[in-house]
Structure 1
């Protein structure tokens, strides 16, 4: 992937960064993506809930800092601005309270590192991003998502997500099956009112498979985040019915961070699995 493609994939887009597990490399990818945007314009960025902290609040591991440069706009809280080494202008304070303080949208005046704090609810995130887009006119936005929560992607119009997968020899088989599952699910057609379908409320779990009528031809779920099946179970279901979705988050690509695995060998294996989603391998060498 050359620098031009790497840069312009993020311009004029809202992109979420998701991951297959904690410490998958989401924050590192986010910093890299922000640097790509800065080659063209100042980015805006945010997180879902609490992120960017120097130590993971669950297991205590060191985490990469979120770097901010003059002109950047981001969402955090007042206490986190005071902790930062940078200098900022508060564009607007919102009546959204978190355990780490009231949320604000700030603009960077002097570079530094910052701990991001975001809203808990999708509606709040949409409100904040609408302000950044409409009032501040920022168009290239990166949102650091939770490791397993994809639902916020549907809350932001015309957004998509990159899925960071940390892969070694021990988890490679499971990771590839997960990538197959997500790629297939991202391709489901949108449901329409004309569909004579069986609607599944909430999660599509193995336990709900027996509730699908035998003569059913179409099943409707909310979106790919509702699928709690493994790849084999999903394949078996697709032989019986057509699966459609109410919301369709856009899967923009997989970011595979490989450990002790040759890139060429993994690429060939990836293609052999029939996965057609764009694969971005170890992108940080393209800084």
Structure 2
């Protein structure tokens, strides 16, 4: 497994801003985050924040114990003021951000000792970008964002250069379903960046494609919009551009049909998936054959796949 780790660590160190996102609760997101923060694999000072609230010791959905978020001395942390009393690191407040959250203003501090932290960061893309910029201005080499769950995770591409996608048995009791849905999200995460932006659709998608051979879709791209145009033959050898992958609400079947008809689906914001992590043990009482799960996921994606239960020890 050394070569897989070596490739992963190389990818991580080439990435300035990364977001860790989960397909479900108990996918191993916090385990992966702690490995990044304390394993000594990432060079230089790290900045850490989250999309919204994370780091509580018990998962509020499943009632299972969650690993806390542990940071090394020197780590920069952006979190809401109300969270400061819950961690046990020695804190040096460096700046206030003016970013409001339900748990108080987001402040940036430096951990003057190793210890546990609780995170409640910004929930808006522009604010997350601003926090990352502040980290770099304060001397961080990397910004790590503890990201969102489910389809919301697709928005991570707008705030990070690289994404770590975490999945596991807790998502569904069917391994087939877990792999299929993870691969679907992976495909969306890795849509290419548009080199040029076509005109925005003002007279409807069909009219725009007929006139320009491409279209900039302002909102969501859905099966309801796309399937009739596939049937009519309008969607063939053309381009569709969306803001980011969270706007693509297409089924895997529709994605396949677009590929067959040589329709280039592109996004304004671009990141890359750095790796996929898998947790074969569900919080709900079932588990997968770990070797089969790992093998099949590695066959399905083109990035390193890591078992968080065994390979991040």
Q: 1:200 to 1:101 in 2, by over 3 A?
A: same
Aligned equivalent of 1:280:
306
Distance in 2, matches of 1:70 and 1:189, equals 38
Give per-residue Cα distances to partners, 1:210-250, cap 9 Å, x unaligned.
46363233322223222222322321232233322222221
- 2:249 is matched with 228
Q: CA deviation at 1:80?
A: 1.6
Match of 1:140 in 2: 142
Aligned partners of 1:188 and 1:77: how far apart in 2? 33
State the 1:269 CA deviation. 2.7
- Once the two structures are TM-superposed, the CA of residue 116 in structure 1 deviates from its matched residue by 0.6
Q: Is the 8 A contact 1:15 1:142 kept in 2?
A: yes
- 1:236-268 Cα distance to aligned partner (Å, 9 max, x none): 232233322222221111111113434443344
Q: Does 1:215 align with 2:248?
A: no
Distance 1:277 1:224, change over 3 A: farther
1:1-80 aligned within 5 A? 1-2=1-2, 5=7, 7-11=9-13, 13-37=16-40, 40-57=43-60, 60-80=63-83
User: C-alpha distance in 1, partners of 2:143/2:41?
Assistant: 11
Q: Does 1:251 find its partner at 2:273?
A: yes
**Matched-pair contact (CA < 8 Å) for 1:7–1:36:** no
1:204 and 2:221 correspond: yes
Are the structure 2 counterparts of residues 54 and 20 from structure 1 closer, same or farther at C-alpha, using a change threshold of 3 Å?
same
Structure 2 counterpart of 1:242: 264
**Matches for 1:170-185 after TM superposition, within 5 Å:** 170-185=173-188
From 270, 274, 279, give the equivalent of 2:297.
270
Q: 1:256 to 1:271 in 2, by over 3 A?
A: closer
2:159 matched residue in structure 1 = 155
Q: TM-score, normalised by structure 1?
A: 0.86
Structure 2 gaps of 5+ residues are 199-211, 282-286
Local SS of the residue matching 2:225: helix
Distance in 1 (alpha carbons) for counterparts of 2:251 and 2:176:
13
Tell me if the contact between 1:181 and 1:234 (Cα under 8 Å) persists in the aligned partners.
no
How many pairs align?
283
Q: What TM-score does the superposition give when structure 2 sets the normalisation length?
A: 0.80
8 Å contact from structure 2 (residues 20, 166) kept in 1? yes
CA, structure 1 residues 39+230, in 2 after alignment: closer, same or farther (shift >3 Å)? closer
Distance 1:207 1:56 in 2: 36
Gaps of 5+ in 1: none
Structure 1 residues 71 and 111, CA gap change in structure 2 (3 angstroms) = same
Distance 1:22 1:220, change over 3 A: same
